[in-house]
């Protein structure tokens, strides 16, 4: 389970509610953290959650789109999707410096939009990151092993229109159940904007309950990479 997009007091309150519901189920969260401009209230809460067993992943620096490299345009805020190694390294260094200043650290990286260029992967390895979680799997950068599994959630074709909302809710439950039944890695990402919709929160918790009933073991991204090794 991962949570992203917390940026203000309203979203933080909804994030606290999700975390409390997962605590009741014994499920730890991996918090996807963008350090640039993060409010102190969020930083303080992440410290508390880290001490309580949750994990932290660096989720880009400021999510500014950088039209560098040879990759095609891949949508808004795909900050690391087309960066060459040097540029990616500079942004990673800046992000880690900000995190260090507020007492946070991690060796797990989740790129914005779940897209990372080859240059980003090289820069991550050079800077000692252990885990890269992209849209198709969880990579152990130390030994090169990969646990293949798609990210599940409510982001479909880059849009959040209400069209097909009931279908989105059913699809999440079906995909989680199918993956859990075959013993695969179940990866569910919840965004702050999803928590504004009670039906989405209910669908996530229902899917979590179903996965646990089917024998899934709750782990963070760091633990998932170690299991794959």
Q: What is the pTM of this model?
A: 0.90
pLDDT value at 27 more than 90: yes
The total number of structural domains in the chain stands at 1
pLDDT digits (tens, 9 = 90+) for 34-87: 999 999 999 999 999 999 999 999 999 987 755 444 444 445 568 999 999 999
CATH of residue 220: 3.20.20.370
pLDDT for the residue 66: 52
Domain residues for the domain of 86 are 2-228
CB 195 within 8 A of CB 15: yes
């Amino acid at each position: 389970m991962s949570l992203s997009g917390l940026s203000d007091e309203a979203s933080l309150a909804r994030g606290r509610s999700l975390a409390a519901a997962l605590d009741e189920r014994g499920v730890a969260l991996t918090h996807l953290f963008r350090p640039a401009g993060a409010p102190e209230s969020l930083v303080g809460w992440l410290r508390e959650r880290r001490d309580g067993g949750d994990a932290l992943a660096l989720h880009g620096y400021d999510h500014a789109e950088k039209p560098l490299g040879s990759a095609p345009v891949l949508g808004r805020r795909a900050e690391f999707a087309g960066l060459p190694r040097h540029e990616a390294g500079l942004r990673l260094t800046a992000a880690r410096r900000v995190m260090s200043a507020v007492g946070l650290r991690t060796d797990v990286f989740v790129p914005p939009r779940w897209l990372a260029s080859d240059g980003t992967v090289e820069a991550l390895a050079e800077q000692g990151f252990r885990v890269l979680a992209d849209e198709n799997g969880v990579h152990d950068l130390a030994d090169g092993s990969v646990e293949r599994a798609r990210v599940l959630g409510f982001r479909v074709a880059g849009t959040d229109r209400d069209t097909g909302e009931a279908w989105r809710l059913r699809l999440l439950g079906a995909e989680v159940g199918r993956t859990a039944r075959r013993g695969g890695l179940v990866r569910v990402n919840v965004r702050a904007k999803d928590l504004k919709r009670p039906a989405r929160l209910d669908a996530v918790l229902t899917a979590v309950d179903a996965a646990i009933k089917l024998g899934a073991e709750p782990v963070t991204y760091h633990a998932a990479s170690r299991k794959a090794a």
